[in-house]
Amino acid sequence: MAKSRLVTQILRSIFFKKAGLGAVRYARNSRSLLDLVRRALDKSGGLSGASFAQFRTQLLVISRLLKAYASGEYRQVPWKTVIRIIAVLLYFLNPIDIIPDLLPIIGLTDDIALTLWLFSAAKDDIDIFLAWETARNEARANSSSKSETIRIS
């Protein structure tokens, strides 16, 4: 219950509204989008411990989705989902938000709650991306194994 109240406060906050406005600019510029993904992964790389494992895993999934989107390889994701993901990353990168990141450990509570909300809100779109990604990886593996040349001496 407290987590849903926190997410509601975040979504209504000026910090998230600013992130939402910035998200549109990032979504239209592949280079900026890839830089955003890199910065988010860099920041999350410093997080350790079991409590951050799920957060880091989810961040990696949405990062792969945005990379595929930015490269033009995957465009089946709805615009609304792209904007939501980017807004969450922008919020995550902003050290001054509802609970400032400067506060040890507790400062990331809002960022983690927002990421969990995102995975719930965009579950279907993320699941479709993961299925696409798995199929693409399998196709690439099959393609590379078929193209191997056998030497006859």
What is the DSSP annotation of the chain?
-HHHHHHHHHHHSHHHHHHHHHHHHHHT-HHHHHHHHHHHHHHHHT--SHHHHHHHHHHHHHHHHHHHHHHTS---S-HHHHHHHHHHHHHHH-SSSSS-TTSTTGGGHHHHHHHHHHHHHTHHHHHHHHHHHHHHHHHHHHHHHHTPPPP--
Tens-digit pLDDT profile for residues 98-126: 888 888 778 888 888 898 899 999 999 99
In this prediction the pTM is 0.86
Tens-digit pLDDT profile for residues 68-108: 999 999 999 999 999 999 999 999 999 888 888 888 778 88
